[in-house]
Amino acid sequence: MTSAIDRSLLCANTMLLECPKSCFVSASGTMRRIKEIDVKMQQCINLYFCYKLGWSHVDARAALQAVYHEETMHATKSRKWYHSFAAGRTSLVDRDRAHRHKTGRTQANVQAVRTVIDTDKSITFAGIMNQTGLKQTTVHRIVKKDLQLRLRCAKLLPAFLTPRHIIERFNHCALMLQSVCTRPSFLKKIVTMDEAWCYQYNPETKRQDSQWLSSAEPCPSHPRRNISIKKIMLVAFFDYRGMVHFEYIRGGTVDTGTFIQILGRFRDALRQKRPHLTRILHMDNAPAHGSHDTRLHLLLAGQRTLPHPALSPDLAPSDFWLFGKLKKPLRGQRFPSLQGHLADCSLQPDRLDHCS
Q: pLDDT digits over 245-271, tens only?
A: 998 887 767 889 999 999 999 999 999
pLDDT beyond 90 at 111? yes
> Higher model confidence: residue 346 or residue 204?
204
- Looking at residue 249, what is its pLDDT? 84
- The CA-based diameter of the chain, rounded to the nearest angstrom, is 117
pLDDT beyond 80 at 109? yes
Residues 279 and 348 in one domain: yes
295 located within any domain: yes
Q: What are phi and psi of 196, to 5 degrees?
A: -150, 150
Say if residues 259 and 295 touch (Cβ distance below 8 Å): no
Arithmetic mean of pLDDT, 158-177: 87
47 located within any domain: yes
Cβ neighbours, 10 Å, residue 59: 15
153 located within any domain: no
In one-letter notation, the amino acid at residue 280 is I
Collapsing DSSP to helix, strand or coil, 101 comes out as coil
Residues 190 and 311 in one domain: yes
Residues 138 and 189 in one domain: no
Name the percent of the chain lying above pLDDT 90: 18
- Looking at residue 127, what is its pLDDT? 92
Report the mean per-residue pLDDT for the chain: 79
Least confident of 17-31, 165-179, 314-328: 17-31
Q: Which domain holds residue 139?
A: 107-146
233 located within any domain: yes
281 located within any domain: yes
**Is the pTM of the predicted complex or chain greater than 0.75?**
no
27-36, 97-106, 319-328: which is most confident? 319-328
Last residue of a domain, one of 118, 146, 174: 146
152 located within any domain: no
Burial code of 35-56, b = ≥16 C-beta within 10 A, e = fewer?
eebeeeebbbbbbbbbbeeebe
Residues 82 and 136 in one domain: no
Angle between helices 57-68 and 75-86 (to 10 degrees): 130
Residues 9 and 123 in one domain: no
In one-letter notation, the amino acid at residue 315 is L
25 located within any domain: yes
Cβ neighbours, 10 Å, residue 323: 19
Q: How many domains does the chain have?
A: 3
5-19, 209-223, 224-238, 258-272: which is most confident? 258-272
Say if residues 143 and 117 touch (Cβ distance below 8 Å): yes
- Looking at residue 211, what is its pLDDT? 80
Residues 49 and 141 in one domain: no
Residues 253 and 315 in one domain: yes
- Looking at residue 9, what is its pLDDT? 46
Residue 243 DSSP class: E
Q: CA of 343: how far to CAs of 95, 246, 248, 275, 353, in Å? A: 84, 14, 12, 29, 16
Residues 140 and 240 in one domain: no
Residue 342: pLDDT band with limits 50, 70, 90:
low
Q: Where are the beta strands (DSSP E) in the chain?
A: 190-199, 231-239, 242-249, 280-282, 305-306
Residues 292 and 342 in one domain: yes
220 located within any domain: no
The domain that holds 264 is classified in CATH as 3.30.420.10
Residue 115: pLDDT band with limits 50, 70, 90:
very high
Residue among 348, 346, 340 nearest 325 (CA): 346
